[in-house]
Amino acid sequence: MSTSVSASPFTGLDAERFSMHLAQRSYLPAWWTAAKQEAWNEFTATPMPARNHENWRFANLGGLALDGFTVPEEHASLVPHLPNFPHAKEIIFSNRQVVGRTSLSRELAKQGVIFAPLDEALRDHPDLVRRYFQQHPVNLGSEKFIALNIAFTASGTFLYVPKGVKVDLPFVVQHTITGDKQSIFPHTIVALEDEAEATLVEFFVSGDKLAHLASGVNDLHAGQNAKLTYVGAQNWSHETLSFQANSLTAQRDARITCLNIHLGGRQARHESHSRLQGPGAHCDMLALTVAKENQEFDQRTLQSHQAPHTTSDLLYKNALLDKAKTIFSGLIVVDPDAQQTDAYQTNRNLLLSDEAESNSLPGLEIQANDVKCSHGATSGRVPEEQLFYLTSRGIDPKKAHELIVFGFFEEVLNKLENEHLHAVLSDLIQSKFKK
Amino acid sequence: MKPPTELEAPVAENPAEGIDQSAGDFTYDVKYDYDAGAGLTENTVRYISDVKKEEPWILEFRLKALQTFLDKPMPTHWATKDLNNIDFDKIRYYLSQGQAPKRTWDEVPDDIKKTFERLGIPEQERKFLAGVEAQFDSEAAYSNIKEIVAKEGVIFMGSTEALREHPEIFKKWFGKVIPTSDNKFSALNSAVFSGGSFIYVPPGVKVSQPLQAYFRINAENFGQFERTLIIVDEGAEVTYMEGCTAPKFSTATLHSAVVELVAMKNAKIQYITVQNWAANVYNLVTKRGLAHEGAEIKWIDCNIGSRLTMKYPGVVLKGEGARGEVISIALANDGQHQDTGAKMIHAANNTTSTVISKSISVGQGRSTYRGVVHIPKHLKGCKNNTECDALLINSNSRTDTYPAITVRGNDHAVQHEASVSKVSEEMIFYMQQRGLSEAQAMSLAVNGFVNDLVAQFPMEYSVELKRLIDLEMEGSVG
Q: What would the pLDDT profile of A161-185 be if each residue is shown by its tens digit? A: 999 999 999 999 999 988 888 999 9
- Kindly give the residue spans of alpha helices, DSSP state H, lying in A302-367: none
**Within-domain flag for B93:** yes
**Span A389-403, mean pLDDT?**
87
Nearest to A142 by CA among A27, A241, A30: A241
pLDDT digits (tens, 9 = 90+) for A17-45: 899 889 988 889 999 999 999 999 999 99
**Looking at the complex, does the CB of residue A367 fall below 8 Å from at least one CB of chain B?**
yes
Q: Which residue of B has its CA nearest to A365?
A: B400
The confidence score (pLDDT) of residue B456 equals 78
Q: Do B420 and A372 touch (CB under 8 A)?
A: yes
Reported as a pLDDT band with limits 50, 70 and 90, residue B17 is very low
**B272-300 pLDDT, tens per residue?**
998 888 888 999 999 999 999 999 999 99
- Output the pLDDT for position A77: 63
The 3-state DSSP class for residue A204 equals strand
Q: Which residues of chain B lie closer than 8 angstroms to A372, CB-CB?
A: 419-421
Question: How far apart are alpha carbons A290 and A434 in whole angstroms?
Answer: 12
Closest CA to B298 of B258, B270, B256: B270
More confident residue, B75 or A130: A130
| Across A165-174, B97-106, B386-395, least confident range | B97-106
**Entry field: residues in chain A:** 435
Strand blocks (E) in B66-138: 95-96, 131-136
Residue B422 class from Cβ within 10 Å (0-12 exposed, 13-18 middle, 19+ buried)?
buried
**Stretch B131-136: mean pLDDT, rounded?**
86
**pLDDT higher than 70, residue B20:** no
pLDDT tens-place string over residues B413-441? 999 999 888 887 788 888 888 888 888 88
On whether residue B457 sits in a domain, the answer given is: no
Confidence band of A190 (pLDDT split at 50, 70, 90): very high
For position A2, what pLDDT does the model report? 39
Please judge whether B401 and A354 are an interchain contact, meaning their C-beta atoms are less than 8 angstroms apart.
no
Shortest CB distance from A372 goes to which of B398, B406, B421? B421
Check CB contact of A131 with chain B, cutoff 8 Å: no
Give the closest of A356, A366, A379 to B399, CB-based.
Answer: A366
Residue B1 burial (CB count, 10 A): 11
Amino acid code (one letter) for A122: L
pLDDT in the model for residue A388? 85
Size of interface A-B (CB pairs under 8 A): 131
Q: How many domains does chain B have?
A: 1
Position B24 in a domain: no
Task: Give the contacts of B456 (CB within 8 A, at least 6 positions apart).
Answer: B300, B327
Q: Which of A71, A79, A160, A152 is nearest to A115 (CA)?
A: A160
* Partner-chain residue, chosen from B378, B410, B420, that has the shortest CB–CB distance to A351: B410
Confidence of residue A76 (pLDDT cuts 50, 70, 90): low
Contact, B121 vs B214, CB < 8 A? yes
Domain hosting residue B253, numbered range: 34-425
Residue B369 belongs to a domain: yes
Residue B471 lies in a domain: no
Residue B374 lies in a domain: yes
Q: Does B387 touch chain A (CB under 8 A)?
A: no
Residues A326-337 have a mean pLDDT of 96
Q: What angle do CA A157, A158, A160 make, to 5 degrees?
A: 150
Q: Is residue B21 a part of any domain in this protein?
A: no
b/e code A268-298 from CB counts within 10 Å (16+ = b): bbbbbbbbbbbebbbbbbbbbbbbbeebbbb
Collect all residues of chain A within an 8 Å Cβ-Cβ radius of residue B415. 376-378, 380
- A166 has a chain B CB within 8 A of its CB: no
A368 touches B at CB < 8 Å: yes
A7 falls in which pLDDT band (50, 70, 90)? very low
Q: What pLDDT is attached to residue A1?
A: 37
Q: Which residues contact B263 (CB under 8 A, 6 or more apart)?
A: B232, B269, B289, B290, B291, B292, B295, B296, B297, B322
Identity of the residue in B412, B413, B418 whose CB atom sits nearest the CB atom of A375? B418
Are the C-beta atoms of residues A178 and A137 closer than 8 Å to each other? no
For residue B440, count CB atoms less than 10 angstroms from its CB and return exposed for 0-12, middle for 13-18, buried for 19 or more: middle
Please indicate, yes or no, if residue B439 is contained in any of the structural domains: no
> Which residues, 6+ apart, have CB-to-CB distance to A385 below 8 Å?
none
Q: Is B413 on the interface with A (CB under 8 A)?
A: yes
Contacts of A379 in chain B (CB under 8 A): 405, 407, 412-414
B469 pLDDT higher than 50: yes
Asked if the Cβ–Cβ distance from B407 to A357 is below 8 Å, we say yes
Question: Is the pLDDT score of B393 beyond 70?
Answer: yes
Are the Cβ atoms of B408 and A367 closer than 8 angstroms?
no
Question: Which of A52, A361, A372 has the CB atom closest to B404's CB atom?
Answer: A361
Mean pLDDT, all residues of chain B: 87
CB contact under 8 A, B395 and A368: yes
Q: How far is B477 from chain A (nearest CA, A)?
A: 13
CA distance B219 to B135: 13
What CA–CA distance (Å, rounded) separates B472 from B474?
6
In DSSP notation, B438-450 reads HHHHHHHHHHHHH
Residue-wise pLDDT tens digits, A342-387:
999 999 999 999 899 999 999 999 999 889 999 999 998 887 888 8
Write down the mean pLDDT value for chain A. Answer: 91
Residue A60 pLDDT > 50, yes or no? yes
How many percent of chain B have pLDDT more than 90?
A: 53
Contact with chain B for residue A387, Cβ under 8 A:
no
How do residues B154-204 score in pLDDT, each as one tens digit? Answer: 999 989 889 999 999 999 999 999 999 999 999 999 999 999 999 999 999
Query: In which element (H, E) is residue A169 found?
Result: none
| Residue B476 banded pLDDT, cuts 50, 70, 90 | low
Residue B435 CA to residue B430 CA, distance in Å, equals: 9
Asked if A28 reaches chain B (Cβ–Cβ under 8 Å), the answer is: no
At A9 the pLDDT is 44
Q: Check: CB of residue A288 under 8 Å from CB of residue A412.
A: yes
Average pLDDT over residues B62-87: 89
The per-residue pLDDT for A12 is 78
Q: A280 near A263, Cβ under 8 Å?
A: no
Say whether residue A352 is in contact with chain B using an 8 A CB cutoff.
yes
- What's residue B23's pLDDT? 58
- pLDDT range class, residue A73, cuts 50, 70, 90: low
Chain B: give the shortest CA distance to residue A39, in Å. Answer: 27
Which member of A57, A336, A364 has the closest CB to residue B418? A364
Query: What confidence score (pLDDT) does residue A63 get?
Result: 93
Which chain A residues are closer than 8 Å to B77 by Cβ? 52, 54
Which residues in chain A (310-339) have CB-CB distances under 8 A to chain B? Answer: 336, 339
> What ipTM describes this predicted complex?
0.85
Q: What is the mean pLDDT of residues A51-75?
A: 86
Please tell me which of the candidates B77, B417, B420 has its beta carbon nearest to residue A52.
B77
pLDDT score at A240: 96
- What would the mean pLDDT of B19-44 be, rounded to a whole number? 79
Antiparallel, parallel or unpaired: β B237-245 and B268-277: parallel
| Nearest-5° Cα angle at B105, B101 to B106 | 110
Residue A435: band (very low, low, confident or very high) from pLDDT cuts 50, 70, 90: low
CB atoms within 10 A of CB A366: 26
Q: Which of A349, A369, A377 sits opposite B394 (nearest CB)?
A: A369
